[in-house]
Amino acid sequence: MERASDALRRSSVRLLSLSSGHSDLNLIISDLKELRKSYKRVTNAKKLAWDDMSKWAIREKNMALQETFHYLSELSDLFFEAQREFIGGIKRLQQYFEMILESELHLDKSITYLETCEKNELKLRKEIARSNNLRPFGDERLETLTERQAHAVASIATAHQEVERKTVENEVLKIVKVKEGLADFSESCLEVAHKTSVIFSAHAEIVDCLPDARGAQLEDLKYLGSEISQRAVARAKLDVHCYKRQSERANAPPPPYTSNPSSPVTSPQIASPLSSPAYFSSDVNHRYCEIPEYSENQRGPTYDVPPRDNYENLNGAAGGSLADCGR
């Protein structure tokens, strides 16, 4: 039944495209609409099944099942939110192809107008040829037709330039929109895959906390997974909400510059003679030479210096007098 309805849908799209053309683009847009509807139906079916399981667990007297499904319900909310975002990605891809189709239709209008101008000019030439046989009775009519032909030729030139311009714009727009649309759809797929992996990793961790009841007495079973489940849900929420697409990471501003408090170099544009060349490397993992911080409390070694009055007593101590040092 589904195959028959799908074949009927595609056939109707082709029939509707006979007048306007571009059946391939119309089929792509129709397929994306159907994909979005199908994905939405599957997501809603999953949500209904999960809601029924949660209602069943709440009515049970088993505290382990109640707590487990309580935490799993929080994860399911994250999962269905990720699915809705992915459905929005399918809608955006459909809109990109709708923009391409709109550009194609605008180009078709310009081509139709050019063809109309050429037909009018051809009709005027035939009328001018017939008027030439009616001279001298058709001089006034011939002059009018000549003026109309000149306007028609000018209109053809303008319309031809418009068609050439819109053809170039249309080809550029196709490349731009296809690249943007597919890149956005790829990031949507990667995003939903990452979030699904994070959510169901926490899902498996919570389920693993349920006690193994095979071969055990009911009074001996204990559920000890509350704290583990809480941590798993909190970690999943943090990972999901902090996820950034590749384009968002690429366009993010660089972190603010903070100088090393142990280095006198406070700006990356000022080089310290004691710093390592690796400091100026583009690789942030490189280390640079750390210079100990200098404070006024740190003093060098002190020496006992004799008073200036005793300098005369030092004559000859270094093999000469102080007067000889100035020579």
User: Is the domain of 129 the same as that of 271?
Assistant: no
Fill in the DSSP letter of residue 259: -
In a domain, 254, yes or no: no
Residue 82 lies in a domain: yes
Domain limits for position 94: 7-211+221-243
The CATH number of whichever domain residue 125 belongs to comes to: 1.20.1270.60
Number of domains in the chain: 2
Average pLDDT of the segment spanning 137-161: 83
Residue 90: CB atoms within 10 Å: 19
The verdict on 13 and 81 lying in the same domain is yes
Q: Report the distance separating Cα 185 and Cα 180, nearest Å.
A: 9
Q: Which two tokens stand for residue 242?
A: 């902090």
Domain contains 175:
yes
pLDDT, greater one: 213 or 121: 121
Domain membership of residue 249 (yes or no) is no
Q: Look at residue 164 and tell me if it is in a domain.
A: yes
Q: Which of 41, 70, 76 is nearest to 58 (CA)?
A: 70
3-state secondary structure of 134: coil
Q: What is the pTM of this model?
A: 0.67
Is residue 258 assigned to a domain? no
**Is residue 51 included in any domain, yes or no?**
yes
Which range, of 57-71, 115-129, 177-191, 299-313, averages the lowest pLDDT? 299-313
Do 133 and 175 lie in one domain? The reply is yes
Does residue 320 form part of some domain?
Answer: no
Q: Where are the alpha helices (DSSP H) in 208-321?
A: 226-241, 246-251
pLDDT tens, position by position, 272-318: 433 334 433 444 343 333 434 444 454 544 445 455 555 455 454 44
CA angle 246/185/178 to nearest 5° reads 105
Instruction: Give the rounded distance of the alpha carbon of 183 from its chain centre.
Output: 7
- pLDDT digits over 252-273, tens only? 666 665 555 554 444 444 444 3
